[in-house]
Amino acid sequence: MKTLEDFNFEDKKALIRVDFNVPLDAEFNITDTSRIDAAKPTILKILEDGGSAVLMSHLGRPKGKRNEDMSLQHICNTVSEIIGVQVKFVPDCIGEKVDEAYANLENGEILLLENLRFYEEETNGDAAFAEKLSQYGDIYVNDAFGTAHRAHASTTVVANYFSENKCFGYLLAKEIKAIEKVMQTGEKPVTAILGGAKVSSKITIIENILDKVDHLIIGGGMTYTFIKAQGGQVGDSICEDDKMPLALDILKQAAAKGVEVHLPVDVLAADDFDNNAKTQGVAVDAIPDGWQGLDAGPATLENFREVILKSKTILWNGPVGVFEMESFAKGTIAIGNAIDEATQNGAFSLVGGGDSVAAVKQFGFEDKVSYVSTGGGAMLESLEGKTLPGIAAILD
């Protein structure tokens, strides 16, 4: 696996695919800079070697049309502040203006190209477009894990034009190693905590990780499909009736592989999907009609905590309750606290996939776990056992 450490960038121009697809408010202020912060070490290594950096990224989904609301010019000043170097911006990503800016780029300087997705050729993985991009660097660096599962021109196809002169940036290398640690090299016992609303969205992950884990904790909305499949009463809780046979099959597969599955035993139920709803604690398999389970109960959380504390490797993907509502956030916070404690005791903990990352940030656990993945879809496809095109292109 080639990384930045395999290259000296002195007098070289690095073409870096970063993931600066950051959230903006109505005034175009960045509301979460973590993706830019994450790219900083890679960019600085290249500049400190005595090279220069050409940054390319997408922002939003302009669908192949120029849209000023999604121009990367909006983020240029913030990128300059975070990196500590004034970033030059060019209002295109291919063509004469870029050619000129690239020709004038000196060692120690950074050039940010315009939104790649203003061209539909980017998402189509167009070879001619990728070849044009490839002219803006001596070495190609992919540091965008968030888009590594897409076979786009800038993430995958462009690597074909660099033969040996391509590598992973620090962020992408860290992501690959973190997933490897959970899926292949992690110290046992290995525990996966899977939450979220639906079994159907997690089925390929569950089937792929059953060979790798010792404990599988299931929480959140998909709990109720498992409980109802076993004959429990789930009231008005979210439930995929058509996935009940699948839930039973997962339990059977887990038993055959010696994996201990831990389901909730009690829940906090509410009479409405509302933060101010009436609530009551009930057994998970005896939720009254008109009530729905919206968070894990105290006995469940104690059981889960015990499992987490005896684990040496932990994967957390998905909350165990509707954490966006304060009344139903206690379970997810308790899971975060248990993982924090296990991590302090020497466990390796990886958090990845949309809502669990949002929860970790919301409740201040970012620095209390070993690693927080920056890529939602890419992380999930890695856990499903898929080879990501953006990673394969560098390894090729």
Catalytic residue numbers read 35, 198, 354, 377
Please tell me whether 71 is known to bind a ligand: no
Q: Which of 127, 165, 125, 171 is nearest to 14 (CA)?
A: 165
How far apart are the C-alpha atoms of 37 and 378, rounded to whole Å?
19
Task: For residue 251, give the H/E element and its range.
Answer: helix 244-256
Please tell me whether 272 is known to bind a ligand: no
Please tell me whether 20 is known to bind a ligand: yes
Please tell me whether 59 is known to bind a ligand: yes
How far apart are the C-alpha atoms of 140 and 215, rounded to whole Å?
40
Question: If DSSP codes are grouped into helix, strand and coil, which group holds residue 356?
Answer: helix
Please tell me whether 356 is known to bind a ligand: yes
Main-chain phi, psi angles of 252, to 5 degrees: -70, -45
Question: If DSSP codes are grouped into helix, strand and coil, which group holds residue 180?
Answer: helix
> Where do we find the tokens 């983020």?
75
**Own/partner pairs, 23-29, CB within 8 angstroms, 24+ separation:** 24/74, 24/75, 28/69, 28/74
The amino acid sitting at 152 is: H
Structure tokens of 251?
């339990």
**Torsion sign over Cα 364, 308, 347, 19:** negative
Please tell me whether 58 is known to bind a ligand: yes
Q: Are 161 and 365 in contact (CB under 8 A)?
A: no
Please tell me whether 266 is known to bind a ligand: no
Q: Are 206 and 317 in contact (CB under 8 A)?
A: no
Structure tokens of 28?
């175009």
Residue 331 CB contacts under 8 Å (≥ 6 apart), including other chains: 219, 268, 295, 296, 297, 300, 301, 319, 320, 321, 323
Q: What share of the chain is helix, strand, coil (3-state, %, to 5)?
A: 45, 20, 40
Please tell me whether 293 is known to bind a ligand: yes
Please tell me whether 21 is known to bind a ligand: yes
Please tell me whether 117 is known to bind a ligand: yes
Structure tokens of 338?
């248990």
Please tell me whether 50 is known to bind a ligand: no
Please tell me whether 60 is known to bind a ligand: yes
Distance of CA 361 to the CA centre of its chain: 13
Please tell me whether 81 is known to bind a ligand: no
How far apart are the C-alpha atoms of 8 and 195, rounded to whole Å?
43
Task: For residue 17, give the H/E element and its range.
Answer: strand 13-17
Binding site as annotated, residues for substrate: 19-21, 35, 58-61, 117, 150
Binding site as annotated, residues for ATP: 202, 293, 324, 353-356
Binding site as annotated, residues: 19-21, 35, 58-61, 117, 150, 202, 293, 324, 353-356
